[in-house]
Amino acid sequence: MEHKIAPSLLAADFLNLQKEVEMINKSDADWLHMDVMDGVFVPNISFGFPVLEAVKPICRKPLDVHLMIVEPQKFIPEVAAAGAYMMNVHYEACIHLHRTIAAIKEAGMKAAVTLNPHTPILLLEDILQDVDMVLLMSVNPGYGGQKFIEHSVEKTARLKDMILGKGLNTWIEVDGGVNMETGKRLLDAGADVLVAGSFVFRSPNPLKTIRELKDL
Ligand code: DX5
Ligand code: ZN
């Protein structure tokens, strides 16, 4: 499969959100990644459903919504109503993950489970067959522009082996500190989707940067 690029809106210019979304529409990006934070699950607050709802009608790319919140199952209807294509919930935030994954799919979205850098992939043993995607965090969630955690490359490769070993075709998305160099190594290790925040939006030419990530 050709890999996908999902620029993260967290690094966009919030005063010019419409322009930023129009840039994404024009670009070769596959999805738009949107980071919702609650100040409890992660030590930061970003934006919530009103921003998702405002972006949805003007964005022509599928929305990849990453919920860094406690009890994400409470907000499945809101995320669906905001037009999300993919709903990512953290393994660490879900006591009844199997039920939550089923509810996300019932609401008409694709379902992904997200792992913090310290959470072992072995914990996916009995849920992998039920998810469309696994999102591996390659930084500790909460902020853009952090340093890439090297261990994520090896973790991606092990997850790829686990997926293939089970005869599945679950996508692997990696989020945090992605640039040309880390992105290339993640793709070689088996990643299918790369999230890139500051590398895209802080670039002097975001359209070109997205194209270059796509060509990796
Ligand atoms: C971090 C978010 C990321 C963030 C990535 O908690 O989940 O999506 O926007 O930003 P960069 O690419 O700058 O590390
Ligand atoms: Zn994210």
Residue 87 CA to ligand 2 centre (angstroms): 11
Which atom, in ligand 1's list, is nearest to the CA of 44?
6
Catalytic: which of 30, 64, 175, 192?
175
d(CA 110, CA 213) in angstroms, rounded, equals 24
Residue 159 CA to ligand 1 centre (angstroms): 21
The residue ranges of the chain whose pLDDT is under 50 are: none
Is pTM beyond 0.95? Reply is yes
**Cβ burial 8-19 (10 Å sphere, 16+ → b, else e):** bbbbbeeeebee
- pLDDT tens digit string along 143-191? 999 999 999 999 999 999 999 999 999 999 999 999 999 999 999 999 9
Give the pLDDT score at 1. Answer: 61
Give the pLDDT score at 104. Answer: 98
Read off the tokens for 216: 């990796």
Give the pLDDT score at 96. Answer: 98
139, 173, 179, 201, best to mutate for ligand 1 pocket (most atoms within 8 Å of CB): 139
